[in-house]
Each structure stands twice: as structure tokens, then as C-alpha cells.
């Protein structure tokens, strides 16, 4: 391993910010589990950074250069107070704009999910249930935010991501059944969703966007519950809904 230069350290540290991730076409993947998942799925690497006091796993092998960072340098590459000692610099993939041709099979639509931890957890839940297509609606957190990457525990690298910038345009193109979770919807146990349907997960605070809620082709479902809790965490709700999808 060669020492990490100050110039590279500065560039890599800037990837904590979305502007520089897209400017440089790179993002950070932290922790051996996530790094190994990215390698397994053949994502292109730019480099691997190992903290000088960390024992680097011999299982993580590939052709990218490996740099050794001081404790101070490494601390500037992460927003974690107690990070693992390995970070990969991975090339950003191309995220295609939504089109009916590119959308096949069951899909999740993230309607302005703003918390990166929720987005990563939803990726992980979707991966567990075999739903690998996620449509990113307006206002949704950057899928390559470090917290998304960490909380997905590697599931990000198995997702087919599509982007929607205009809800009305998307609704005009989408011919598949679209389901939203709503307190006035049909009980989940009475619904048999189709294998190729779309499930919308709404914003943590505001719920489903008004443009979506007003659309005539939407179908509403609700998760029955007996407590006075106002709502479920977005990732928890996704897991319950996708379990029903799987059970049919």
C-alpha cells in the first residue's frame, strides 16, 4: 500500500457532499461488508482506502490501487464517529430516467423519501423480498449518500435505479397498477397485488404527494393496526407491504 496523498485525500473527502460526488463521478462505500458486496457485483472501483491502524481483510481483492490513510486523513472521509477502517471509492453508475420500456416487474416508487437512512433501509428490505427495481421520485435522498450506502448493507449494489423528475409525466406513462398506503385504503389482508405492480412509499412527514393522491388510477391499501401510533417508519411499512406482495 502506498500512502494517501493530501491531494487525493481532499478529493475523496469532498465526496461526502452530493455536488462533488456528481462532479467527480465517484462515491464513498464504507465498511468491509459493503465494499465486498460492491466487488461481488462488479461495480467499478477507483481506489480503496485503509486506515493505518486497521487490519485489511485479505478477502477484499481487486485491481484498484490501495492507499493507506492516517487516522486524521481517514476521519475526514467519513461522517461516522466510530468508522470501520476501510473505504472504497467507487464510480457512480448511470441512473436512467424512467421510461415504460425500462420498467419491468414489481417496482417501488419512493415519493420524496428524504432521510438517507430510510432510503438505504428500504433498499435492504426490497432486496430481501426480491424487488430490485426502485424508482426515485422528486425530493428523494441521493441514493449514493454515504448513509444510504451504509444502511443498505450492500443491497444498493443489486438495485436497478430509475429516476423521475416530473410526477405528472410519470403517471401519464405508467400503465401498471399503482398502490399507495393510506389510512382510508382497503385492509392489506383483503388485497392481492399483482407481481408487476408499483408500490408507492410516501414522504416520512407529509405522506403521499397531492399529485399522486389525486390520480385516478391509484389504488389504496392500509396496514391494519390497533395502537394509537400515528404512522409506521417508511422502511418498516415497506417490509410489511412487500411481505404481502410475496405471499400473494
So what's the pLDDT on residue 246? 77
Q: Is the pLDDT of residue 28 over 90?
A: yes
Q: Is the pLDDT of residue 222 over 90?
A: no
Shared domain check, 83 and 16 = yes
Q: What is the mean pLDDT of residues 222-233?
A: 76
Domain of 122 in residue numbering reads as 96-247
Give me the number of domains the chain comprises: 2
DSSP string, 31-64: SHHHHHHHHHTTPPEEEEEEETTS---TT---SS
**Which residue among 91, 108, 127 closes a domain?**
91
Q: What is the mean pLDDT of residues 101-110?
A: 82
Shared domain check, 160 and 134 = yes
Q: Where residue 142 sits, what CATH number does that domain have?
A: 3.40.1280.10
So what's the pLDDT on residue 151? 96
Shared domain check, 159 and 55 = no
Question: Which uninterrupted H or E stretch holds 199?
Answer: strand 198-202
Q: Is the pLDDT of residue 163 over 90?
A: yes
Q: Is the pLDDT of residue 58 over 60?
A: no
So what's the pLDDT on residue 46? 94
Task: Report the predicted TM-score, pTM, of the whole model to 2 decimal places.
Answer: 0.92
Shared domain check, 115 and 70 = no
- Burial class for 14, CB neighbours closer than 10 Å (0-12, 13-18, 19+): middle
Task: Report the distance separating Cα 189 and Cα 205, nearest Å.
Answer: 25
Q: Who wins on pLDDT, 158 or 225?
A: 158
**Which residue among 40, 71, 91 closes a domain?**
91
Angle between helices 234-247 and 116-128 (to 10 degrees): 20
Task: Report the distance separating Cα 127 and Cα 37, nearest Å.
Answer: 13
Q: What is the mean pLDDT of residues 116-136?
A: 96
Amino acid at each position: 500500500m502506498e500512502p494517501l496523498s493530501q491531494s487525493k485525500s481532499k478529493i475523496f473527502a469532498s465526496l461526502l457532499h452530493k455536488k462533488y460526488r456528481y462532479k467527480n463521478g465517484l462515491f464513498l462505500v464504507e465498511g468491509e461488508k459493503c465494499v465486498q458486496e460492491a466487488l461481488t457485483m462488479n461495480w467499478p472501483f477507483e481506489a480503496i482506502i485503509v486506515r493505518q491502524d486497521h487490519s485489511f481483510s485479505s478477502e477484499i481483492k481487486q485491481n484498484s490501487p490501495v492507499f493507506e490513510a492516517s487516522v486524521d486523513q481517514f476521519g475526514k472521509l467519513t461522517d461516522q464517529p466510530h468508522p470501520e477502517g476501510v473505504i472504497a471509492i467507487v464510480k457512480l453508475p448511470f441512473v436512467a430516467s424512467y421510461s415504460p420500456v425500462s420498467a419491468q416487474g414489481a417496482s417501488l416508487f419512493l415519493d420524496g423519501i428524504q432521510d438517507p437512512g430510510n432510503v438505504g433501509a428500504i433498499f435492504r428490505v426490497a432486496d430481501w423480498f426480491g424487488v430490485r427495481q426502485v424508482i426515485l421520485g422528486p425530493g428523494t435522498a441521493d441514493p449514493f449518500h454515504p448513509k444510504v450506502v451504509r444502511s443498505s448493507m450492500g443491497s444498493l449494489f443489486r438495485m436497478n435505479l430509475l429516476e423521475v423528475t416530473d410526477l405528472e409525466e410519470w403517471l401519464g406513462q405508467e400503465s401498471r397498477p399503482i398502490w399507495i398506503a393510506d389510512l382510508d385504503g382497503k385492509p392489506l389482508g383483503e388485497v392481492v397485488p399483482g407481481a408487476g405492480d408499483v408500490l408507492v412509499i410516501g414522504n416520512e412527514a407529509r405522506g403521499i404527494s397531492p399529485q399522486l393522491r389525486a390520480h385516478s388510477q391509484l389504488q389504496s391499501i392500509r396496514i391494519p393496526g390497533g395502537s394509537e401510533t400515528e404512522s409506521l417508519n417508511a422502511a418498516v411499512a415497506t417490509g410489511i407491504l412487500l411481505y404481502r406482495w410475496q405471499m400473494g
